[in-house]
Amino acid sequence: MNTTTAMVKRTDTEQVIQLVTDSVTSPHSRRAYRRAVRDFMAWYAESGQTVLNKAIVQRYVAELNAEGKSAANVNQRLSAVRKLASEAADNDLLSEQSANGITRVKGVSQRGHRVGNWLAKDTAQDLLDAPNTAKLKGIRDRAILSLLIGTGVRRSEAASLTFSHVQQREGRWVIVDLVGKGGKVRTVPMPSWTKAAVDSWAAAADLSEGRIFRSMNKGGRIVGESLTGQAIDDVVKLYTHKAGLEGIACHDLRRTFAKLAHKGDAPLEQIQLSLGHASLKTTELYLGIEQDFADAPCDRLGLRLAEKES
């Protein structure tokens, strides 16, 4: 079988999507792949395609480009379609030849890099001070914002954080054995004010084990044993919207941590370790660092040539 129609005849759309989402571990990737595969299958049906092969996927990419989609967006969608082809072949829903052709479809070249958003120091401080700590929800939300800005963790990492993760190492509080993107494990230092915000929440909520952050109802009562990454993102959007900061999301607070640390002269490699980036180059791109020819590193060596006597 080598058609999407054949796949749908043997199983429904959700089951096909499940093949893809089950093959990735990151919750963020699962959501992104689910959306991308659903969009592709909708396009496939609406455009009247009858086969699934390299040429069809190339046509899909061309139409995305024509719609003005960004290179990053197109490449993410293409990655999901490649994964769909691979999983379909593994489950005898697509021929190996067709699947191999689809995996060879080239992505869109991405020139430059998107710097993204981050908050200035005073704006970040205002955001930390925004929650109403006279209420339990405000105490929780302040702790969430403090964790995101103070440590640079991802929203999924914040959601999965437990009290056992927070320990002392070399006289300071850290988050130990944090499992991040791609299953990478790291230890993240925590500033004293972030620890204080977390402690305030724990004391007010009478919590000492399990997940640190919990879901709450509109009445301000804890109603669950955990909190989703999306709920954490909703907390960020709530307070940034109140502050008139449109378009700011959790990842921008992670970027804010990196930017403020860099401006505070934190070593770049230490920022890299906190963020969990695989390479220093990724951190440099993340921060939007460009080479400074006016004040270059070679100007800071403090060396000179001795003057020879004539």
pLDDT tens column, 180-212: 888 889 999 999 999 999 999 999 999 999 999
Indicate the domain borders of the chain.
4-103, 121-287
The catalytic position among 254, 255, 259, 262 is: 254
What amino acid occupies position 42? A
Where do we find the tokens 């290179």?
71
Order of strands, edge to edge, in the sheet holding 172-179? 166-169, 172-179, 185-189
The catalytic position among 82, 140, 154, 214 is: 154
Catalytic annotation present for 286:
yes
H or E, element range at 256: helix 250-263
What per-residue confidence (pLDDT) applies to 30? 77
Q: How confident is the model at residue 158 (pLDDT cuts 50, 70, 90)?
A: very high
Q: How confident is the model at residue 172 (pLDDT cuts 50, 70, 90)?
A: very high
Which of 97-111, 215-229, 262-276 has the lowest average pLDDT? 97-111
Question: Helix, strand or coil for residue 66?
Answer: helix
Q: Structure tokens of 260?
A: 């403020």
Catalytic annotation present for 254:
yes
Where do we find the tokens 């449109």?
246
The catalytic position among 28, 34, 35, 251 is: 251
Report, as an integer, the average pLDDT of 121-129.
91
Q: Are 155 and 235 in contact (CB under 8 A)?
A: no
**Pick the residue with more confidence: 88 or 271?**
271
206-245 pLDDT, tens digit per residue, is: 999 999 999 999 899 999 999 999 999 999 999 988 887 8
H or E, element range at 25: none
Catalytic annotation present for 251:
yes
Report d(CA 81, CA 37) in Å as an integer.
6
b/e string for 242-263 if b means 16 or more Cβ within 10 A? eeebeebebbbbbbbbbbbbbe
Catalytic annotation present for 239:
no
Statement: residue 11 has pLDDT above 60 = no
Looking at residue 309, the DSSP 8-state letter turns out to be P
- Spatial CA neighbour of 205 closest among 227, 177, 176, 188: 227
- Spatial CA neighbour of 228 closest among 281, 163, 157: 157
Report d(CA 91, CA 6) in Å as an integer.
12
Please, what sign has the CA dihedral across residues 235, 241, 245, 247? positive
Q: How confident is the model at residue 175 (pLDDT cuts 50, 70, 90)?
A: very high
Q: Which CATH number fits domain 4-103: 3.90.1150.10, 3.40.50.720, 3.90.1530.10, 1.10.150.130?
A: 1.10.150.130
Question: Helix, strand or coil for residue 86?
Answer: helix
36-76 pLDDT, tens digit per residue, is: 888 998 898 888 888 889 999 999 999 998 888 877 788 88
Classify domain 121-287 by CATH architecture: Orthogonal Bundle (1.10)
Q: Structure tokens of 293?
A: 């020819």
Q: Structure tokens of 138?
A: 């405000």
What per-residue confidence (pLDDT) applies to 2? 43
Report d(CA 197, CA 139) in Å as an integer.
8
Q: Are 133 and 142 in contact (CB under 8 A)?
A: yes
- Spatial CA neighbour of 32 closest among 80, 86, 84, 69: 80
The catalytic position among 30, 181, 211, 237 is: 181
